[in-house]
Chains A and B, each alone.
Chain A
Amino acid sequence: MEDILILAIESSCDETAASVVKNGREVLSNVISSQIDIHTLYGGVVPEIASRKHTERINQVVNEALIQANVTMEDITAIAVTYGPGLVGALLVGVSFAKGLSWAYDKPLIGVHHIEGHISANFIDNKELKPPFICLVVSGGHSHLVKVKDYGEYEILGRTRDDAAGEAFDKVARVIGLGYPGGPKIDKVSNEGNPHAIEFPRAKVADNEYDFSFSGLKSAVLNYLNNLNMKGEEYNQADVAASFQQAVVDVLVSHSMTAVSEYGFDKFAIAGGVASNSHLREALKKACEERGVEFYMPTPIMCTDNAAMIGCAAYYEYLKGHRSGMDLNAVPNLRLGER
């Protein structure tokens, strides 16, 4: 069979990324141009700035991906692009560019769901992994517990009712003076802290045992800090970070394991930016081992926003014959499983 080469483009948030993926799982190039230095100045991602930077960099990033993969546009089978969910202005840059490129070359276009991309990152780093499995997707914008029934077929078991897990990390990091981005900073400083110094609440959502809620936890951290502040006492940054993180990890692990047992799956995977949190990876690995469940995780680089994962997801879409038209639009609140 002839090789299928997907050129994938991702611009849903603050990374401009492009990749060439061969036959779904072999990454020939994975270029990520991060804007984090600029957004750090503002304490978080500024959508308008992100969109402007994507526009400036997209050609260079796509070119670099082709060069590193040692292929030309002529070799490319199809062009894939993230069309949601994400920041609408940022998504539009990738979508418009991909459509222009696809039109100029008469190459098929495949719109890809960002979260499907994150889940598919597991296929790249775990060549033997095949659906079905349960996947926990946790990032700055998303917290989903998903049943992956087949390639491109998903059932959402639970989602966050308020803040995404990564959002909670960012907010707590800000109030305890760690700054942006919160995830890696809390992960690191937690190594020095006692995760049980403060027992923050582990929220349960009454009508769906798989849904998450992190805003209560965030408030509990704020209240704890305010109380100490009013008493004129200092707080221990590492203890607060470690205890907060433990509360998040506990909830994520317990929800995940409940799903694994309930559905009787023997495979479990994680995905998304928060999936590179070392404490979460360790805890899930242990929980899976205890239950005899095979645990899969992408490498940390594949957990961040990247285009290789989009190329991987697109490959299976391509095989199914899914194609996008020239009217493909950015859909900022695109739901998983929607087309």
Chain B
Amino acid sequence: MKILAIESSATVASVAVVNDNVLEALYTICHKITHSQTLMPMLDEVAERIELDKKSIDYVAVTSGPGSFTGLRIGASTAKGIAMGLNVPIVPVPTLEALAFNAYGVEELICPVMDARRNQVYTGIYSFERTGADFRLVTYLEQTAMDLGELMDKLNSMGKGVLFLGDAKDIFAERIEAGLKCDYAFAPVHMNRQSAAALASAAVRKIASGEYVSAGDFAPTYLRLSQAEREAKEKGNN
């Protein structure tokens, strides 16, 4: 089984090709948000380096959101074009779940956070739980957009150690220091950002449980309405 994984939900642009148990290629950059110009050339280079037979791809995995609206759409539209071209399904993986997969095997709480602007973070609370010769991802808090204070209250109430992933350290290290009462750590660089390899690992589980869709049926999950819809809704409520 061969999976092509595409991640462009935030500043990271990442593509991976996973063939059964082998990560044949992983190309990740975290530079500027120029995904429209970088993502496909990255994929092109990967394909060339590993002499990829495109027709051998069985699934296209992509982070389904949340994230930068534009980033998500570039990833989604690219995946939809490729999946239609190859006539294969898309495996959508929630962005925070894919991020959490970086910390496979961690039995403390895993809390990925992404800057969501407007004083909020996109976050979720996860953990890995041993099941025989494997770990499975347990979800304590489904991915959502949340105020940082609320997230810390939630973590404090759970009373377990927390491993933070994502750009958490950059956004609010000081506030965590001041407000968090449980043990915590920030993940180191090899696992603290979006990665198409982690996405592919998460996708393997989704495929096993039949969670994939046709290219035409896939659309990102933004977790937020557009500004116009939000304003119209607020007006309606008044």
Contact = CB atoms under 8 A, between A and B. Distances in A.
Interface in A308-329: 325-327, 329
B64 to A, nearest CB: 11
A99 B6 CA distance: 14
A93 B76 CA distance: 8
Contacts of B228: 42, 46, 48-49
A51 B219 CA distance: 11
Contact of A93 (B38, B73, B83): B73
A88 B229 CA distance: 19
Contacts of A96: 36, 73-74, 76-78, 81
B222 interface: yes
A89 B73 contact: yes
Contacts of B69: 48, 51, 89
Point out which of A54, A89, A97 has the most chain B C-beta atoms below 10 A from its C-beta: A97
Interface in B29-46: 34, 36-38, 40-41, 43-44
A48 B82 contact: no
Contacts of B78: 96-97, 99-100
Nearest to A98: B81
Interface in A39-56: 41-42, 46, 48-49, 51-52, 54-56
A307 to B, nearest CB: 15
B84 interface: yes
B93 to A, nearest CB: 17
Contacts of A94: 77
A20 B221 CA distance: 31
Interface string B54-93: 1000000000000001100110111111111110000000
Interface in A19-59: 41-42, 46, 48-49, 51-52, 54-56, 58-59
B219 A92 contact: no
B159 interface: no
A71 B41 CA distance: 29
A42 B216 contact: no
Interface in B113-160: none
Interface string B215-236: 1100110100011110010000
A235 to B, nearest CB: 28
Given A59-B80, A59-B215, A100-B81, A49 B40 contact: no
B227 A48 contact: yes
A317 B30 CA distance: 35
B48 to A, nearest CB: 11
A330 interface: yes
B41 A327 contact: yes
Provide the main secondary structure of the chain B interface.
helix
Interface in A289-339: 325-327, 329-330
A73 interface: yes
B70 A89 contact: yes
B219 to A, nearest CB: 5
Interface residues of A, number: 38
Given A49-B226, A89-B70, A100 B77 contact: yes
B84 A59 contact: yes
Report whether over half of chain A's contact residues are helix, strand or loop; otherwise say mixed: helix
A81 to B, nearest CB: 10
Contacts of A62: 84
A111 to B, nearest CB: 12
Nearest to B216: A59
Contacts of A327: 37-38, 40-41
B70 A92 contact: yes
A260 interface: no
A330 B37 CA distance: 9
A263 interface: no
A326 B70 contact: no
Contact of B226 (A52, A73, A98, A99): A52
B76 A326 contact: no
A105 interface: yes
A104 interface: yes
Interface in A240-293: none
B226 A46 contact: yes
Contact of A329 (B37, B47, B229): B37
A101 B84 contact: yes
Contacts of B85: 73, 100-105
Contacts of B40: 99-100, 103, 326-327
In order of increasing CB-CB distance, the 3 nearest A-B pairs are A100-B81, A104-B85, A48-B226
Interface of B: 34, 36-38, 40-41, 43-44, 47, 54, 69-70, 73-74, 76-86, 215-216, 219-220, 222, 226-229, 232
Given A89-B70, A96-B77, 9 more contacts: A49-B226, A51-B70, A55-B77, A55-B219, A60-B216, A99-B40, A100-B40, A103-B47, A327-B38
21 contacts: A49-B228, A49-B229, A51-B73, A59-B84, A98-B81, A99-B40, A99-B78, A99-B81, A100-B40, A100-B79, A100-B85, A101-B82, A102-B81, A103-B44, A103-B47, A103-B54, A103-B81, A103-B85, A104-B85, A326-B40, A326-B43
